[in-house]
Amino acid sequence: MRRDRFIPVLAFVVATRAFALGPGGPPPGPPPPPFQKDLFPPDLVLSNQMAIGLSAEQIQSIKRLLTESQSTIIDKQTDLQRAAEILGHAVQAHPVEESSALAAADQVMTLETAVKKAHLSLLIRIKNVLTGAQVAKLMEIRSKDEGDRPWGGAGDR
């Protein structure tokens, strides 16, 4: 395609995409997993503690859970960053030593799974501290918040 035709076509594509996405742009990242709608991040719970009627004991339990999981998650994330760095060095080589690169990739994926499992465990434990009425109220709060998002919201990311 000649340059004089390329620029108007490119401008049209960019303008069409911007119009389709609207002023809010695309939602960040991939959609959340389906089970996420039934779990609540700590910031949602703690920023609505009065609205859902958290007791002092529940707040203490959630703070304890956060403290316990934070050290585990930080340790795993630190290990993950090191493993990712090792993998990065392995694939920079030319030629790439396939077996060592794949072993490093396996370590990265194992640590990613461990981090995700620790996060999921925290969310499950927080939900188990809440009463049924508090869970229902949080679902209502989150539903209202998602309805206020320009793209319709797809849950916390």
pLDDT tens string 80-102 = 999 999 999 999 999 999 999 99
The CATH number of whichever domain residue 136 belongs to comes to 1.20.120
Does the model's pTM come out above 0.75? no
What CA–CA distance (Å, rounded) separates 128 from 135? 10
DSSP 29: S
Mean pLDDT, the chain, whole residue set: 84
**pLDDT at 73 > cutoff 80:** yes
What CA–CA distance (Å, rounded) separates 139 from 151? 19
Is residue 107 assigned to a domain?
Answer: yes
Tally of residues, the chain: 157
Domain that holds residue 80: 33-147
What CA–CA distance (Å, rounded) separates 125 from 61? 9
**pLDDT at 16 > cutoff 90:** no
Domain count, the chain: 1
Is residue 24 assigned to a domain?
Answer: no
